[in-house]
Amino acid sequence: MVREHPRITLDPDVLAGKPVIRGTRLSVEFVIGLMAEGWAEADILANYPEIMHEDVIACLAYARDTLSSVVNLSLVSDETRI
């Protein structure tokens, strides 16, 4: 089940429909990428003042929920694969 994320939007006219922080063109992927590269939340907020702490948390929650909804195909037997 996919949870609703009010701070995250998907619009085909914005970044080809990638999930973005509402009211911005900053994608969830971009924010998660900055964190993966070692950026602290304080660095992200200082460099992108249009977003807030809650937006960063929403990106993490969206990524978590998206990953948790993906079926691990390696656990599915060859007979049931499509």
pTM: predicted TM-score of the whole model, two decimal places: 0.81
For residue 31, being part of any structural domain is answered with yes
Q: How far apart are CA 11 and CA 1, in angstroms?
A: 21
For residue 82, being part of any structural domain is answered with no
For residue 75, being part of any structural domain is answered with no
Question: Quick one: pLDDT at residue 3?
Answer: 74
Mark the ranges of the chain whose per-residue pLDDT is less than 70. 1-2, 71-82
Residue 15: partners with Cβ closer than 8 Å, 6 or more residues away: 25, 27
Query: How many domains does the structure of the chain reveal?
Result: 1
Q: Which domain holds residue 40?
A: 8-69
For residue 80, being part of any structural domain is answered with no
**The domain that contains 59 carries what CATH number?**
1.10.10.10
**Percentage of the residues of the chain whose pLDDT score is greater than 70:** 83
